[in-house]
Amino acid sequence: MIPRYSREQLVKIWTPNNKFKIWLNIEILACEAQCELGIIPKNSLKIIKKKADFEVERIDTIEKEVKHDVIAFLTNLAENVGIDSRFIHQGMTSSDVLDTCLSVQMKQSCKIIISELRELIEIIREKAIEHKNTICIGRSHGIYAEPTTFGLKLLKVYAEFKRNLKRLIEAEKNISVCAISGAVGTFANIDPFVEQYVAKKLGLRPEPISTQVIPRDRHAHLFSIIGILASSIENISIEIRHLQRSEVNEVQEFFLKTQKGSSAMPHKKNPILSENLTGISRIIRSSVVPLMENISLWHERDISHSSVERIVCPDALILIDFSLNRLKGVIKNLVVNKKKMKLNLMNTNGLYNSQRVLLELTKKGISREKAYRIVQSVAMKSWDKNLNFQTLLQRDKEVKKFLSRNDLAKIFDLNYHLKYVNFLFDRVLKNGQ
């Protein structure tokens, strides 16, 4: 991934140096297990642990000759270890190293991503509580609907990201497996104890049944969850973008004094961070399908998945980490324009009470169909001529037969729409949803 959309702690996990460190650790742990089984002499193990080392540049040079990355790595180890290197990789296959290493890297990445997600969730919770009673107009199809609060908008986002956290924790657990089972996964040339030993040392679990490779449904599961998480990021990003539109202007991304919005128009304050997150989310989701397609491999193993994973796994995980970190800043520093929220609410001319009028008329004995026609007729006059809805209702002959001015005043009480705000907050926050 390009540096612009990367954070160092994730990038380090996917560097060649870290990858080879993990490979070396796997090989040494396997040697330790083989030593316990009496297959590798203790003195040889001591030499291996002391002398085993690698140079990335040397591995690259060897790979150009042998056209095999694991063999190049083992050759470099042998150059440093000497004759005792014959015990390294005993009974193992390349996939044992590659797949177990990938599990470690994904687990390392998930640990950081989960931490970022937890921090984001807390920021959203705090912002939701802050604006619990900040009244604004709700919209359906982009059109004025009924009143809500900005806190409720964020509460929905909070609950969504809590679900993402739960899914991601499960996906991390699902991917935390190790395979040291040898060619075609039969353990013919290596004792299952080695796999158990390595897995325990690495904080993994043995893959119950591998066919030389760890089954790729595990990987597809993780990145499907990452894709959903990216969609959740896009969801709130689009909401912010819509609410920052000039004619809406209910929220704004924080704008630094030194910041410039446009190379041509000095007046501009653009929702660039939210737009950026929207675009990045598209890239992250694009990784899901290739990893699903990786599930289908020939027989016990092929390497059609390898090129996909070398590209997609680091890029998608680096991007989701970057996105979560960026979204934390967006939410934490979000500028909420309470006055404009109230103004937009008032600009509806009270049309958001159309359902309330409809329901009150039905309570008076009018059929729903007739009540709908009456209310819609008055509402369209209010809409088309920009007139106060309540005033028009008070003057309407049909409405006056059933609803008094006092009745209408009660119907148009704004607090009616907010009576269950506390209930919703309690249901989500107190019940750990």
| Cβ contact 132:250 at 8 Å | no
Q: Which of 68, 94, 140, 141 is catalytic?
A: 141
Q: Which of 68, 115, 262, 307 is catalytic?
A: 262
Q: How many Cβ atoms are within 10 Å of 322's Cβ, its own excluded?
A: 22
- SS3 category, 90: coil
Nearest to 246 by CA among 271, 266, 274: 271
H-type alpha helices, 93-211:
94-130, 150-175, 192-202
Nearest to 213 by CA among 251, 174, 184, 242: 184
Look up residue 278 and give its two tokens. 């929207």
Decide if 262 is catalytic.
yes
Q: How far is CA 256 from CA 106, 210, 266, 269, 301, in A?
A: 36, 54, 14, 10, 54
Sign of CA dihedral 285, 287, 288, 290: positive
Phi, psi of 161 (to 5 degrees): -70, -30
- Chain CA centroid to CA 207, Å: 26
| Cβ contact 350:412 at 8 Å | yes
Q: How many Cβ atoms are within 10 Å of 12's Cβ, its own excluded?
A: 11
Give the type of residue at 58: R
**Owner of token pair 């958001």:** 352
Look up residue 367 and give its two tokens. 């059929």
Alpha-carbon distance of 276 to 148, in angstroms, equals 28
Decide if 307 is catalytic.
no
**Owner of token pair 């998480």:** 229
Contacts for 5 with CB less than 8 Å, ≥ 6 apart: 280, 318, 319, 322
Catalytic residue IDs: 141, 262
